């Protein structure tokens, strides 16, 4: 299958005064179009650093990272911003919705930055909200929605640009068990429809829904994520 995301010997080192911290120590990772990968690891394993690099929120200290055929490891801030807006849909633990805007207007925000005209923004935002089951909540503001509904709005916002990659960082961390199940069902549906999904999580019940899992510890994978075994649904948490 075609590789959407390819990393080779990606390293990230942070320096504070005389102290150097190697957050990533040589990451090799391939994610094919249509994959559903969960990346797991304890606190301090490098998950957040890896998520930031995958999401073009940061760049490696060394190594190669290609996203959808584009080398991003050496991009400047403006180039990274362009790639983020065109290629990646983000879903975070905190929904990051603007409280004064309706669900529809929140979903339109990435299209506004991309310069899409108003009529097309409205049409695409409505379609994205319908896709996540919130067609009847388009004019509600975040404060009028449950946590699970707010996360669905954030997922619609992530999908509205039709990104190559859906990247989720602890997407159920702020949700109860019922809302968590609903969101994971939606990830399943998106994956089955052909969407490429990478989820960063420390929760087994989230990881077991993915097609493959990779385990990160001390800045290195402890298994081979290119050939990780499919996660087993219903595995013990």
pLDDT of residue 10: 97
Contacts of 205 (CB under 8 A, 6+ apart): 180, 184, 237
Cβ 219 vs Cβ 25: under 8 Å:
yes
In a structure prediction context, what are the per-residue pLDDT tens digits for the chain, which is 237 residues long?
Answer: 678 999 999 999 998 888 899 999 999 999 999 999 999 998 889 999 999 999 999 999 999 999 998 999 888 999 999 999 889 999 999 999 999 999 999 999 999 988 999 999 999 999 999 999 999 999 999 999 999 999 999 999 999 999 999 999 999 999 999 999 999 999 999 999 999 999 999 889 899 999 999 999 999 999 766 544 444 333 332
pLDDT of residue 119: 97
pLDDT of residue 225: 62
Contacts of 212 (CB under 8 A, 6+ apart): 35, 36, 37, 38, 225, 228, 229, 230, 231
How many other β-carbons are positioned within 10 Å of the β-carbon of residue 67? Answer: 23
pLDDT of residue 207: 94
Instruction: Go through the domains of the chain in sequence order and give each one's CATH number.
Output: 3-227 (3.40.50.300)
Region of residue 17 (phi > 0: left; psi between -120 and 50: alpha; otherwise: beta): left
CA distance 87 to 79: 12
Cβ 35 vs Cβ 6: under 8 Å:
no
Q: From 169, 192, 180, select the one nearest 34 (Cα to Cα).
A: 192
- DSSP single-letter state for residue 59: -
Kindly state the helix (H) or strand (E) to which residue 10 belongs, with its residue range.
strand 3-16
pLDDT of residue 230: 44
Which two three-digit tokens encode residue 76? 């400047």
Cβ 152 vs Cβ 133: under 8 Å:
yes
- Per DSSP bridges, beta strands 3-16 and 19-32 are antiparallel
């Amino acid at each position: 299958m075609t590789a959407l995301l390819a990393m080779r010997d990606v390293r990230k080192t942070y320096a504070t005064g005389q102290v150097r911290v190697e957050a990533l120590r040589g990451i090799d990772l391939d994610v094919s179009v249509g994959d559903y990968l969960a990346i797991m690891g304890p606190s301090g394993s490098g998950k957040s650093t890896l998520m930031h690099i995958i999401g073009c929120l940061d760049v490696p200290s060394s190594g190669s990272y290609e996203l959808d055929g584009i080398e991003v490891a050496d991009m400047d801030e403006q180039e990274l911003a362009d790639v983020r807006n065109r290629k990646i849909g983000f879903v975070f633990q905190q929904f990051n919705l603007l409280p004064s805007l309706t669900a529809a207007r929140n979903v339109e925000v990435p299209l506004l930055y991309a310069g899409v005209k108003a009529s097309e923004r409205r049409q695409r935002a409505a379609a994205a909200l319908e896709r996540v089951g919130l067609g009847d909540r388009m004019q509600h503001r975040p404060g009028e929605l449950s946590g699970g509904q707010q996360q669905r709005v954030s997922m619609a916002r992530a999908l509205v640009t039709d990104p190559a990659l859906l990247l989720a960082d602890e997407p159920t961390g702020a949700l109860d068990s019922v809302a968590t199940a609903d969101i994971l069902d939606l990830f399943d549906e998106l994956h089955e429809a052909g969407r490429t999904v990478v989820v960063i999580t420390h929760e087994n019940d989230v990881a077991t829904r993915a097609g493959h899992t990779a385990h990160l510890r001390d800045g290195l994978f402890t298994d081979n994520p290119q050939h990780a075994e499919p996660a087993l649904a219903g595995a013990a948490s």
